[in-house]
Structure 1
Amino acid sequence: MGGTVQNRDAFLSKIAKQLGRASKTEIARPTWQYQPQDRVLKDATKDELVEVLAQQCKNIHTDIVITNTANLPADLQKVVENYGGQSVITWKDERFKGYGLGKLMTEQWPQANIQLYEWDSELPEENIRQAEKANIGITISEITIAESGTAVLFSSKDKGRSVSFLPENSIILIPKSTIVPRMTQAARKISEKVRNGEQIASCINFITGPSNSADIEMILIVGVHGPIKATYIVIDDQ
């Protein structure tokens, strides 16, 4: 729903008068001579960006697994087992089935006594309760920033942000096609969606590995206000 700005022109005119200049109704976007934000990793291939991401994961205390759709179920199972299994919460997202994870999640995990809970927009309180007690949360990155090792998650009624915040361990699936060089390209992709009239999530989370803080005496503490451990699983979907 669009909003309406009230008394904008009068307000801006008053400010301009106080500043002793005419009110400007249009501002031309400046063209900068140097644009380093576009030069870094400009010509990198997707494979090179995966290498950059893998190196950055070492700095952000995040494990990384590089796989394809054929091997994804087995590789995901290994990560889940390494985290101790027990209970998993996921978004309600058809892409899990598209990646061939349906049988793993709905058949193999129950047989292995791994409880699976899928986010249900009709049960908000139960969603939070399940996220709080889940051992592992699994989400999917919409845009992935190679330089910083950041996964960008779009929240929605079926994609609760608690899935990536409350469980002790976080697994984020990274489609290779989503990887971009820097924050510049990530912001540009989001801006393009807005200009194209696409509905954008009201909450966009930029997640860089497990939660950590160095606010006190510059001592890094991991797992302060979110997952203690994180794994990115890069899927070759191209």
Structure 2
Amino acid sequence: MAIQNRDVFLERLAGRLGRGPRTVGVERPEWTVRPQHKVLVDASQDELVDVLKRQCKVIHTDFRKTNIESLAQTLDEVIKNYSGNKIIIANDQRTADAELDFYFDRKRADGCLVHVWDEEIGKENQQRAEQADIGITFSDMTLAESGTIALFNDKNQSRSISLLPHSYIAIIPKSTIVPRFTQAAQQVRKRLAAGEKVGSCVSLVTGPSNSADIEMHLIVGVHGPVEATYIVVEDM
């Protein structure tokens, strides 16, 4: 992922400080106190699942746990609960890996219409997302502490899928669950250092849309899905 206009920005910033940019002798500080690294650091993967489950109650999100063999059945139950007729999903290899290709036929046996994100049709994808009842994606990383889904958006997985439909379903491989954003940022940095592509941006989704006014009256669905379900898959 390229950084645009970095040198120009740094030169302008240094100029405001009354000096030129420093390019040598700059070292990352070593902080003596790092409380962010201690939260849930010794938690097992099963314990992190329990933390995520408890947090889902706080963020008004339904929580389900299943295994790879029962994933399609669990999806069926959630979709029927949402009464969705139009579904949009990412163009994701994990759909095939989880043997869900048959499940996401363009027209399902129950009459639901499924659209798979297609970069070739451009803006039409966003129109399909706006019209969709349900958006479904796999989670790339999942933050147990806050109940946040991290999505690495690219040409095949747009943030529109998790933002525009009325309801959102996140499929969470158990192995993607980390304690908090600290560990997620560390993983992203390692991937970038190894030359991996992470995505054009990273979307952080914490349950359905929530907003509150100055008197703290909670309003759901102002700028995103009205309802959300997280499905943790044990053996992906």
TM-score (norm 2): 0.91
One-letter identity of the residue aligned with 2:59:
I
Picking from 147, 157, 165, the partner of 2:155 is 157
CA distance in 2, matches of 1:207, 1:7: 30
Question: Is the contact made by 1:87 and 1:134 (CA closer than 8 Å) also made in structure 2?
Answer: yes
Q: CA deviation digits over 1:12-44, x for unaligned, max 9?
A: 4784559xxx96732222222222111111110
Q: Deviations over 1:88-117 (max 9, x none)?
A: 00011121121121222218x621101111
Residue 216 of structure 1 deviates from its aligned partner by: 3.8
With over 3 angstroms needed to count, the CA separation of the structure-2 counterparts of 1:156 and 1:7, relative to structure 1, is: closer
Q: Partner residue of 1:220?
A: 218
Counterpart of 1:127 in structure 2: which amino acid?
A: N
* CA positional deviation for 1:186: 0.7
2:128 matched to 1:140? no
In structure 1, distance between residues paired with 2:9 and 2:41: 44
2-structure distance, mates of 1:7, 1:54: 42
SS of residue matched to 1:188: helix
Equivalent residue in structure 1 for 2:183, among 162, 182, 185:
185
Q: In the alignment, which residue of structure 1 is the partner of 2:68?
A: 69
Closer, same or farther in 2 for the Cα pair 1:25/1:87, shift >3 Å?
same
CA distances 1:111-160 after superposition (whole Å, capped 9, x unpaired): 11011111110111221111111100001110100000000001111111
The residue identity in structure 2 corresponding to 1:97 is: A
Once residues 166 and 15 of structure 2 are traced to their aligned partners in structure 1, the CA distance between those partners, rounded to angstroms, is 53
* Matches of 1:92 and 1:220, distance apart in 2: 34
* Whole-Å separation in 1 of the counterparts to 2:108 and 2:76: 13
Letter in 2 for 1:95: R
Structure-2 separation of matches of 1:139 and 1:87: 15
Cα distance change of structure 1 residues 118 and 27 upon mapping to structure 2, 3 Å threshold: same
Structure 1 or 2, whichever has the larger Rg, is 1
Question: What is the CA–CA distance in structure 1 between the aligned matches of 2:26 and 2:132, rounded to whole Å?
Answer: 50
Looking at structure 1, the residues matched to 34 and 93 of structure 2 have their Cα atoms a distance apart, in angstroms, of 39
**1:213, 1:222 within 8 Å by CA — same for their partners in 2?**
yes
Task: Look up the equivalent residue of 2:71 and give its one-letter code.
Answer: L
Matches within 5 A, 1:9-158: 12=14, 15-17=17-19, 25-106=24-105, 110-158=108-156
Note if contact 1:91-1:159 (Cα within 8 Å) is conserved in structure 2.
yes
Contact preservation (8 Å) 1:16, 1:23: no
How far did residue 10 of structure 1 move?
Answer: 9.9
> Do the aligned partners of residues 12 and 49 (structure 1) sit closer, same or farther apart at CA in structure 2, a change above 3 Å counting?
same
State the Cα distance separating 1:197 from its structure 2 match.
1.4
Change (3 A) 1:34 1:123: same
Q: CA RMSD in A?
A: 2.4
SS at match of 1:213: strand
> Paired residues, what number?
234
Q: 1:197 to 1:87 in 2, by over 3 A?
A: same
Q: Is the contact between residue 62 and residue 209 of structure 1 (CA under 8 Å) also seen in structure 2?
A: yes
Helix, strand or coil at the partner of 2:108? helix
| 1:13/1:23 contact within 8 Å kept | no
Instruction: Give the TM-score of the pair, scaled to structure 1.
Output: 0.90
SS in 1 for 2:142: strand
Q: Check conservation: 1:145, 1:182, Cα contact below 8 A.
A: yes
Gaps of 5+ in 2: none
Q: Give % identity.
A: 44
